[in-house]
Chain A
Amino acid sequence: MPRSASVAAVSVRQAVRQFGEQRILDGLDLDIGAGQFVALLGRSGSGKTTLLRALAGLDRIDGGQLQVPQARAAVFQEPRLMPWKRAWRNVSLGLRGANPEARARAAMEEVGLQHRLSAWPGTLSGGEAQRVALARALVREPKLLLLDEPFAALDALTRIRMQQLVLELWRKHAPAVLLVTHDVDEAVLLADRVLVLDRGRIVDDLHIAQPRPREIATRHLQEVRRHLLGLLGVESNAEPAPNHSFYLTGTHR
């Protein structure tokens, strides 16, 4: 392990990944401090998923350096539970060390699913399945937790609850988190730092120091939001829109 391991959870230097002529990651640099919550925004095709897969060790890079902790775990957009294993067995799957069953049960309790221990994944709701996936990641006590749009497939209410749960568990276990998302609001509400990825490079790195829980309607966060949307190629109106539909109907373009 590098000597900086106690400070930095992730260190990426000049990472390159290319498919044929196309460079998906193009000399990308990234540092994530231990216990930091980082959100990664980017248009589709900007290399978000490629970067996450490289950090997870699921994909190689063609050039540059990559330092990640051994203990890492991921939650994906789909829960990716084994349908033939009961919920707690999914959590304990591949778990080494003493007493995997008890640890799996404890993790299920942490995500509020102690009553669904022996459920088949096929009987879980989308939110419940995603919470099992979260328990499966956390039970490994990762130094780096990779979240690949984990809330994208959930309904709005479940999403808010899951976001709160992730924050709560992050405070308790303090892993470094890299959250890949499309949702600017989600990034702004949750993360210490928001990165914007474009054409294989990080083009912006915003620190958000506001205490949580945050309110997206505050002036500062609205400005951050507008700035980020601009970087992502979404033009927003100069004034924060109190009623979105009013502005839509009022446009003559």
Chain B
Amino acid sequence: MSLRSHSRWPFWRNLGARLLSPLLLLLLWEAASQSGVLPARIIAAPSAIGGTLWQMLASGELAGHLWVSLIRALSGLAIGVSVGASLALVAGLSRGGELAIDSPMQMLRTLPFLAIVPLFILWFGVGETPKIALIALGTTFPVYLTLFAGIRGLDPKLIEAATLFGLNRRERVWHVILPGALPSFFVGLRYAFGISWLGLVVVEQINATAGIGYLVNDARDFMRTDVIVICLLVYSVLGLGIDALVRGLERFTLAWRPAFIRS
């Protein structure tokens, strides 16, 4: 406690020093834009970006697009995580399941899922279905791989102890294997979240009329560099937010881990 209050002043001073150079860069950027060295078709001025952002926020345009993207990403993610987790459980908990599931999964996971876009358009048309299906496909593999590895990587001594102390198979899965594999699952979940946002940019090029990815493509056609920068900002803020969400979930469900116990 005392250590923290001692270091408070240097903390703020450090923060100020850290912010100084980005602010300086921003000012340089603004000056370059105003003087015409940086034309708006290369990149818009910070002030213009700020103005557009304010406009898009006030009109609800940005929120509307964000909502559409969010629904797509979360639907795809929900399907992908469920499928990946189910397959990992079947493959992880039984020999037969592993034989049946693991090699096809290992083959499929090496396909760049974005290369399947044309096939999905042929199969599912150009509506919402291929968009959600593609995100689901992309998010299945990281969840499958990490959860499967987590189940198989569990300390056999713990399972042995559980057997010795009279746990039947169902209880072993519930009390030992699943909680033990949870940390690995969260690693996969983080990857899956990242992939779902990455996927959005691509799938929203397929005949979309709304969404952040659509906004980027639309802005490119009209050379609206300010809108593109805003979309990039939205992505990074969302990325941070989702990371915080997963961290919160981990903190809650993995409270037993030494890293969380100490903090």
Contacts and interface: CB of A to CB of B under 8 A. Distances in A.
A binds B: yes
Interface of A: 56-58, 73-74, 76, 78, 80, 82-86, 93-96, 120-123, 136, 140
4 tightest Cβ-Cβ pairs between the two chains A and B: A80-B161, A84-B179, A94-B166, A94-B167
A114 to B, nearest CB: 20
Contacts, number: 58
Contacts of A76: 157, 161
B171 to A, nearest CB: 7
A57 B161 CA distance: 11
Given A76-B157, A82-B158, A85-B175, A94 B258 contact: no
B100 interface: no
Contacts of A56: 164
Interface string B148-187: 0000000001101111111100010001100110100000
Would you call the interface of chain A mostly helix, strand, loop, or mixed?
Answer: loop
A23 B185 CA distance: 42
Given A83-B257, A84-B179, A58 B160 contact: yes
A86 to B, nearest CB: 8
Contacts of A58: 160, 163-164
Given A76-B157, A82-B175, A121 B164 contact: no
Would you call the interface of chain B mostly helix, strand, loop, or mixed?
Answer: helix
Given A94-B171, A96-B166, A123-B261, A84 B180 contact: yes
19 contacts: A58-B164, A73-B165, A74-B161, A74-B164, A76-B161, A80-B158, A82-B158, A82-B175, A82-B180, A84-B179, A84-B180, A84-B254, A85-B179, A94-B167, A94-B171, A123-B258, A136-B165, A140-B165, A140-B166
B9 interface: no
B123 interface: no
B36 to A, nearest CB: 61
Place the interface of chain B in its size category.
20 to 34
B256 A93 contact: no
B110 to A, nearest CB: 33
Nearest to B255: A120
A120 B176 CA distance: 15
Contacts of B165: 73, 93-94, 136, 140
A85 B178 CA distance: 12
B257 A122 contact: yes
Contacts of B255: 120
A79 to B, nearest CB: 9
Contacts of A95: 166
A16 B41 CA distance: 83
B62 to A, nearest CB: 41
Contacts of B157: 76, 78, 80
A54 to B, nearest CB: 13
Contacts of A93: 162, 165, 167, 175
Contacts of A74: 161, 164
A247 to B, nearest CB: 40
B158 to A, nearest CB: 6
A82 B158 CA distance: 7
Given A80-B158, A82-B179, A84-B180, A122 B261 contact: yes
A117 to B, nearest CB: 15
Interface string B130-164: 00000000000000000000000000011011111
Contacts of B261: 120, 122-123
Contacts of A84: 179-180, 182, 254, 256
Interface in B221-259: 254-258
A120 B255 CA distance: 9
Contacts of A123: 258, 261
Contacts of B166: 94-96, 140
A82 B176 contact: yes
Contacts of B254: 84
A93 B164 CA distance: 11
B30 to A, nearest CB: 51
Nearest to A83: B256
A73 B176 CA distance: 18
